Chains A and B, each alone.
Chain A
Amino acid sequence: MGNFGQLMDGFAVALTAHHVMIMAVGVLLGLVVGVLPGLGAPNGVSLLLPLTFTMDPISAIILLTSMYWGALFGGSTTSILFNIPGEPSSVATTFDGYPLARQGQAVRALTLAFTSAGIGALTGVIVITLLSSWVANFAMRFGAAEYFAVYFMAFASFIGMAGGSPFKTLVSMMLGFAAATVGIDTISGESRLTFEIDELIGGISFLIAVIGLFGLGELLLTMEEGLKFEGVKAKLDMRTILRTVAEVPRYWVTLVRSALIGCWMGITPGGPTAASFMSYALGRRFSRRGRNFGKGEPEGIVAPETADHSAGSCALLPMLALGIPGSATAAVMMGGLMIWGLSPGPMLFSTRPDFVWGLIASMYMGNLIAVVLVLATVPLFAYILRAPFTVVGPMITIVCVIGAYTVANHVFDIWLALAFGIVGYVFKKLDYPLAPFVLAMVLGDKAEDAFRQAMLTSDGSPAIFFSNALVSTMMGLGILLLCLPLITVLFKGGLFGRPAAGDAEAHGRSA
């Protein structure tokens, strides 16, 4: 087995004291970046890039990838504790992580997230190790139609998920699409929905929407309910952490399902954010405990976290092997590769095996270090929760405001985030689901681009979506996922028949 031998060589490269130290530093910096909502992993990695100019490429990529792992872990922390996703890909973690934390089980929620994330990341790396050459060829088979099919599957799995009024779900999702449309259209080069406002020409950043809808919106809700932060009761002892780690293997079905979804979305162009949503939605539908999702169900944390991290790891493979980045962070790293004098592409594996396998080996190590370090921060965060809300609230506000500014250094973005905050508050009180909005905003413009590229390729014939086995299978699965809930709803008695009050309770203000 050639890959295994090369991996061993890789470990010989990665396991020097110097490199392990670099990993630890990278992970720590990543944690800070991940916790701050405006500075995501892509920003963090590009901020570190200048430091790597004087390093050798292997140390440099180890520093950057370790920072990435750290940021992925850090992003989940604020999702769970304050309902502010530090990273776009940890939005789905808020759905159950935050409710669980509010029930006084913050430590359990964090430990669950970190442990399953670690398992997801390791799965991703194992997939890379075993399948690297196959994956590169497979990814080549993705044309515009296949891209669209991937996005379609992600939407389809999610669409039936939201409870409550179908009309509110519709409005929420379409508003997300509309927000994603703002800016210059890739296909025609025309500006859309900008109304000649300079600030809108760059589009509406997804991070701004998330900071407002989730972070500020939640603050307003908490404020209204009387300044209470129920994480106060968070008990803090090593035993809770260990017991939770031991609890994780019980969710093995969810783990396997989510890891598979994650790897799939990481290799195909879906990316970590879509992976975590899809995994959450499918978990909700197929898990036996699916009806508890949204109310602090452990599996509702395990599912998105596992998928997020396995997708994050797998997304590095298309970057190395093809030069197409599977995520925004991978795009920055690819820029780094070129500055260090390496060309990502099919030949990198044969021209620089020491680099590629050293990197892959460092991914095993980096993730292990990240899990250990991040578990060590749990007591610190639990301590923050003990502070009174009158202190924590303004601090979170400041973090949100700075976060909104750092996304693109626009003051306009801060105002936009405040507006989204009010929208988030009102929508939550009126039981408009926010998840469809977020998903539509992440994937909306990509799906539209892929659709129109496919149409251009086929001269306007929709038959392209069923032109080969790969794309037909994906479209077929998507349609099946789409129809499943509709059929269930029809059998249960129509759209208008259901009492809305019951839904509101079932879906919960907590979601």
Chain B
Amino acid sequence: MPKHALTAFALTLSVVVPTAALAEWKPNRPVEFVAAAGPGGGTDTFARVVQSALSKNELLTTPIIVSNKSGGSGAETFIYAKSNKGDPYKLYFGTQDAYVLPLANKLSYSQKDLTPVAAMVFDPFILWVNPKTSGIEDVKGFIAKAKENPGQLKLGGAKAKEADETLMTLIEHKTGVDLTYIPYKSGSEAAIQVAGGHITANVNNPSESVEQWKAGVQKPLCVFESERLADKTVIADGMSWNDVPTCVEAGIDVKTFAQPRTIWAAADIPPEALAYYTELFTKAAGTPEFKGYQERGAQIPRLLTGDAFKDFIKQHEATYAEIYKANGWLRAEQ
């Protein structure tokens, strides 16, 4: 097989001598990063930041091509992974969507078609309002207003029956209020609708609303984490991310609802390749480019690979399945 010959050839060329015995695999042709989101979306930015971190620090010397397959809320990406079984030159970038999408929709791929590689970072969720148009200043005010007008308070988010809407149903369960969810194409779009006073509140990642916060048209009420965010740099109104209370402190009993930024490979890739990528992305997480991305997004630095990542997936999927079941969103079993 000429493939082996080429691999050997590439190995002799390689400057960095891999230390671990397993890491003797090295890509000898362009690697494709498939993002399960459209250009400009959160997952797309994630994939491109990793791309820039790898190529700027020369961690990966073969060309990296980023492509987008956002169809079907990203399902297109994972269906594509299924059709490229065993191909170690394609990696798939997503969130929890990789294992949550098949819960609600009848799709032709399942988790068996994917090899988990890494969860590189977690995006926290924050509850936002426009303090000027809504008159809401804190979580207590939010809950009071929602109780006054059951079903009248509009909360926006990205897409339907995904992270944002799931989180809203959690808020409803824990506080006993009745909200109306309005799906938009993206989290930033929902943020602008809140800023413009068209809807009352939204839930999204910090980076999607931080500029509106600085402009005074949005205010963070609480963060859906068990601990406050670490960053103490003042952003607006004399507040830093660290000054935003956790939702448990503020009165919504939702402990942690972070969104992992995940990387996958197709099923049945060589174990050497998996080991190589695991090491590669561990290194990438330490680069200044990636650290800068984490800081800007007020993300939670938490790298998961190997068995730790697999355990996390199992547990995270079960959490989602439970909420989906309660909401009646689980797809009918065939």
Q: Which residues of A contact B (CB under 8 A)?
A: 42, 46, 49-50, 53-54, 140-144, 183-191, 196, 198, 201-203, 322-325, 328, 331-335, 338-339, 341, 343-348, 408-409, 449, 453, 456-457, 459
Contacts and interface: CB of A to CB of B under 8 A. Distances in A.
B63 to A, nearest CB: 9
Which 6 residue pairs are nearest across A and B when measured between Cβ atoms? A202-B71, A345-B211, A143-B198, A189-B160, A331-B40, A201-B72
Given A186-B184, A202-B71, A346-B212, 7 more contacts: A46-B68, A201-B72, A201-B76, A331-B39, A335-B41, A345-B212, A408-B71
B74 to A, nearest CB: 10
A335 B48 contact: yes
A334 B37 CA distance: 14
A322 B192 contact: yes
B198 A144 contact: yes
11 contacts: A50-B48, A50-B51, A183-B72, A186-B185, A189-B73, A323-B211, A324-B192, A331-B38, A344-B211, A408-B69, A456-B154
B31 to A, nearest CB: 12
A392 B215 CA distance: 55
A347 B211 contact: yes
Interface string B42-68: 001100110110011000000010111
A141 B219 CA distance: 19
Interface residues of B, number: 61
B160 A325 contact: no
A144 to B, nearest CB: 7
Interface in B149-165: 151-152, 154, 159-162
Interface in B162-203: 162, 180-185, 188-189, 191-193, 195-196, 198-199
A202 B69 contact: yes
Contacts of A449: 185
Given A184-B73, A345-B215, A457 B188 contact: no
Nearest to A141: B196
Contact of B160 (A142, A187, A203, A334): A187
A186 B160 contact: yes
B48 A202 contact: no
Interface in B207-231: 207, 210-212, 214-215, 217
B39 to A, nearest CB: 4
Contacts of A333: 40
Given A189-B162, A201-B71, A343 B296 contact: yes
B23 interface: no
A325 B72 CA distance: 21
B292 A341 contact: yes
Contacts of B198: 143-144, 457
A220 B49 CA distance: 45
Contacts of A141: 196
A355 B310 CA distance: 43
